[in-house]
Amino acid sequence: MAESPRPTVTMPDRDPGEPIHQWVFRALRRAIMTGHFPPGQAVTIRGLAESMNVSAMPVRDALRRLVAERALELLDNRRVRVPSMTTERFDELLTARITLETEAATRALPLIDDTRLRELHAIDDRINRADAAGAPDTVVEQNFLFHLTLYTARPGSIFVPLIESVWLQTGPFMRVALEETPSKDPIDRHIEALAAIADRDPAALRRAIEADIRDGIGHLGNTGLLVRKQRPPGRLLSPGRSPRRAAKIASETTRNAREAGLT
């Protein structure tokens, strides 16, 4: 590993009039969600700026946004990296997805019209075709789109951004998962979800969504892919004399409280 393992980021088309920092953000978000950044990967402002042929400023903005959405992790030395995955973290993410998405689906259900239902069917078809064609990236993408299309039936939902944050956090794990797990071709939970929508059956929809999430990533929890505890190389508290960050060590509760401004 002598070479700098800089992962190339494929840039999407830039919308006319779109700010560069949002363009960069979209590129990084896609790269992270599809797992093109391996867990633990360090990312630097200047490095990304050079590889994307933009100045440092938009990259800085995009990184800050990604850190705020928990897609990236800010170490105490002010450096940014892709979070690594532990069994505990994986379990939390799975639970969070189920908790949020079953509720979002239930609340969206009464607002799904025929047009949207047809669109959902179309996406599911695309998933099946991509799966048959052996295009796992497309499968993952269209699967996210299926869920997103379902939840956004309720406009302005608070849940969607929260769900997307969780998706981003599971992203770095996706590629490893796609490469290592046999395509087990499970029962199509989307069919069950679509049937529940047609029946206007909230309980059945909840069951289908939860099963879909568990089928998708749940079985990965027991593979050997997860690290146990992972004290990161860039440690969470630096050792020597360091006038820059003289703040005392604080418990997570205290730290959160302070950041929240709770005296």
Partner DNA sequence: GCTTGCAAAATGTGATCACATTATGCGCTT
Partner DNA sequence: AAGCGCATAATGTGATCACATTTTGCAAGC
Binding site for a copy of itself (CB under 8 A): 12, 15-19, 26-27, 29-30, 33-34, 61, 64-65, 67-70, 78, 88-89, 92-93, 95-96, 99-100, 103, 107, 141-142, 144-145, 148-149, 152, 155-162, 164-167, 169, 242-247, 252-253, 256-263
CB atoms within 10 A of CB 85: 21
Looking only at Cα atoms, what is the longest distance across the chain? Answer: 65
User: Which residues form the interface with DNA (CB under 7 A)?
Assistant: 19-21, 43-47, 54-58, 60-61, 77-80, 234, 238, 242-245
- Spatial CA neighbour of 110 closest among 41, 47, 13, 197: 197
Tokens of 88: 């505990």
| The entry of DNA, a copy of itself, none that residue 44 binds, CB within 5 to 8 Å by partner kind | DNA
For tokens 């309980």, what's the residue? 203
| The entry of a copy of itself, DNA, none that residue 26 binds, CB within 5 to 8 Å by partner kind | a copy of itself
Q: Toward DNA, which CB reaches closer, 79 or 255?
A: 79
CA–CA distance, 64 with 72 (Å, rounded to integer): 9
Residues in the chain: 263
CB of 44 to DNA, least distance (A): 4
CB of 178 to a copy of itself, least distance (A): 16
* Contact in structure between 205 and 105 (CB atoms under 8 Å): yes
CB of 3 to a copy of itself, least distance (A): 27
The DSSP bridge partners found for residue 227 are 86
